[in-house]
Structure 1
Amino acid sequence: MPSLTQILSSANIIAFLIIWRRNCTLSRSSTLYLMAISVADNLVLVFIVVLELSLKYHQQELFWNYEPWCRLRDIFNYGAYNASTWMVVVFTAERFVAIHTWKIKTKVCSPRCAAWTITAIFLFSHVFAIPYYWSNASVYENNQTKCIYNPEAPSQFIHTLVWFQTLHVYILPFLAILTFNGLTLRLISLSNRIHLSSHVTSRVNKVTPLLRSRRRKSMVLLVTVSMSFVLLSVTRAITQIILRMSHMYLFDRNDYSYQINIVADTGTMLSLSNAAVNMYLYVCTQPKFRQEFLACVRQMSVYCKTKI
């Protein structure tokens, strides 16, 4: 698992560097959002996949189980996951505005606006995770130190946090992404009908295919990134809602005689894999990104040969 995580994390770093340093024919605002998504995804891989999930199979007692890390753990975990989720949402919204809302495009789709939005997303994602500082506690039982929900915390406080997190990273993002993508596809369909039925000058006819090609590439990137997030996260979203709305929430999550635990862990695996797939989505959907990626590979191979 650690070696696989290193490969996936490296893929995110490569995607970040290519988008940042190479010419992928993306707008400056889209470049900033995609770089921010790569950073947020890497934080998810580091804090959740490596430091929490992977290490527990290699160490009997994790440093996360001791104070103050036990209380700080979920601030980092949920902060990173919140940022990764809402970066996809704001990227979806920004691309929707860029493709179809020309009146406010210059204001919303500017590098300055993107920078402020990214800063706000990272800041508020971690601010919303601060209440988890009081939800966990380090306890010593059965000759082992564990980090568990604070037994002294009011149950209403714990349930409020759990439901707020479910609403914050699943229900609201899903509704926003599906709405923006639905409107985007509808407007693209209407735009295609208008182009087919309209009679325009020869000069416009020469420009229109280029504009439509750019719009199509932007739409493909938008739908691919956002819908992959929804599809990979929907299993975890459904299982978490089921667990929270029934007595199953009291089950031992490590007891795999319960099918809900198997499905929930599968959903968690799929949801976390979303933090590692964006690099491969860019390669599959963006010809310019593939060209720049292959150019980097060739440069690296030449560099390695000269060194050897």
Structure 2
Amino acid sequence: MSGFREHSSGPDGYVCANLMAIVILSRGRCGLSQCITYYLVAIAVTDFLVMISAVILNRIGGIYFRYSVLSTTPGCTVSSVLVYTTRDGSVWLTVAFTIDRFVAICCQSLKTRYCTEKTALLVIGIVCALSCVKNIPFFFTYQPLYILDGVPWFCDIKSTFYTLTIWQAYLWLDRILTPLFPFFLILLLNALTVRHILAASRARRRLRGSESRGDMEMENRKRSIVLLFAISLSFLLLWVIYVGHFLYVQISGEPYFTGLDFNDPQYILQETTNMLQLLSSCTNIFIYAVIQTRFREEIKNLLMYPFATLKGFLKR
């Protein structure tokens, strides 16, 4: 099993950006429905937690605070399980958002019942709960690397993890649930959504004839799905190398790289896959900023708020 050796360049900026997205989206002033807002806030929160657990606690803590509580066996075990839990939550909330938009666009008969605030909160709660439950077994895969003065230090994967069939089955289940199944599910739903949109657009143009140029409903529909495609396609592009590398390792039988030669092509490829799948937790804030005009306006208002407050105080 490959470890999480995340690159830690500039994590503070990404953490602050995700925190800003949470604040802005939570205010509900971006012109989005409450259902979409719930999903986007949940995705932003899990992305924020991925950066905290995977980069700051797991990577930076392990490098710069090597003999802190994070390096004890309980500390690094909790840190590692948090990485898997937050990663799964981020991935499956993206899937949940994709499903919600697929139903809203392609399944009009189900839209009124499924695309509601209550359903969104229920789905978000279930995804978060299952992400926690699914990764509990990882607590039992680690053992101390050594014990010094009665204190267990660092995490070493138990040898039984590689030999027992039940652990190998669990590892395959983990990889199938994240990211193989979500990857292909998002790809399928986007393909079906595009096909439905193209068919609906052609039918509407035929019905409206020469009036199709001024069809504001179609224009609004196109703008509403740009956000969905941007988020889901970003996920697909950033995870495709990770998925391809995993499938190659399983088919070829070659193990993951565990050596110390940092110039080895296998090491570079493996670290690139880890970096890109973590980057998927940083891109959504930039997608919101590029696509949503009102989101950009809210960013400006949030950044200017301290100066506006100071200006009003000085005037008084």
Aligned residue pairs, count: 305
Go from structure 1 to structure 2 and tell me whether the alpha carbon gap of 1:201 and 1:116 turns closer, same or farther (over 3 Å shift): farther
Tell me the residue number matched to 1:270: 276
SS at match of 2:32: coil
Contact 1:94-1:108 within 8 A present in 2 as well: yes
Contact 1:94-1:109 within 8 A present in 2 as well: yes
Deviation of 1:95 (Å): 0.6
Go from structure 1 to structure 2 and tell me whether the alpha carbon gap of 1:154 and 1:269 turns closer, same or farther (over 3 Å shift): closer
Question: Residue 223 of structure 2 aligns to which amino acid in structure 1?
Answer: K
Distance 1:181 1:103 in 2: 19
Go from structure 1 to structure 2 and tell me whether the alpha carbon gap of 1:21 and 1:3 turns closer, same or farther (over 3 Å shift): farther
Match of residue 241, structure 1, among 243, 247, 260: 247
Gaps of 5+ in 2: 1-6
Go from structure 1 to structure 2 and tell me whether the alpha carbon gap of 1:97 and 1:60 turns closer, same or farther (over 3 Å shift): same
Equivalent residue runs for 1:138-217 within 5 Å: 138-140=144-146, 145-153=153-161, 155=163, 156-199=165-208, 209-217=215-223
Go from structure 1 to structure 2 and tell me whether the alpha carbon gap of 1:112 and 1:235 turns closer, same or farther (over 3 Å shift): same
SS at match of 2:50: helix
Contact 1:235-1:264 within 8 A present in 2 as well: no
SS at match of 2:29: coil
Per-residue CA deviations over 1:42-83 (Å, capped at 9, x if unaligned) read 110011111011222213335344232343333211110000
Match of residue 53, structure 2, among 47, 50, 55: 47
Contact 1:132-1:161 within 8 A present in 2 as well: no
Query: TM-score scaled to structure 2, two decimals?
Result: 0.87
Tell me the residue number matched to 2:81: 75
Distance 1:294 1:250 in 2: 45
Gaps of 5+ in 1: none
**Structure 1 residues 162-171 or 76-85, which shifts more?**
162-171
Match of residue 104, structure 1, among 91, 101, 110: 110
Superposed CA RMSD: 2.7
Equivalent residue runs for 1:82-101 within 5 Å: 82-101=88-107
Question: Residue 197 of structure 1 aligns to which amino acid in structure 2?
Answer: R
Question: Residue 282 of structure 1 aligns to which amino acid in structure 2?
Answer: Y
Go from structure 1 to structure 2 and tell me whether the alpha carbon gap of 1:186 and 1:247 turns closer, same or farther (over 3 Å shift): closer
Tell me the residue number matched to 1:220: 226
Distance 1:49 1:127 in 2: 22
Question: Residue 195 of structure 1 aligns to which amino acid in structure 2?
Answer: R
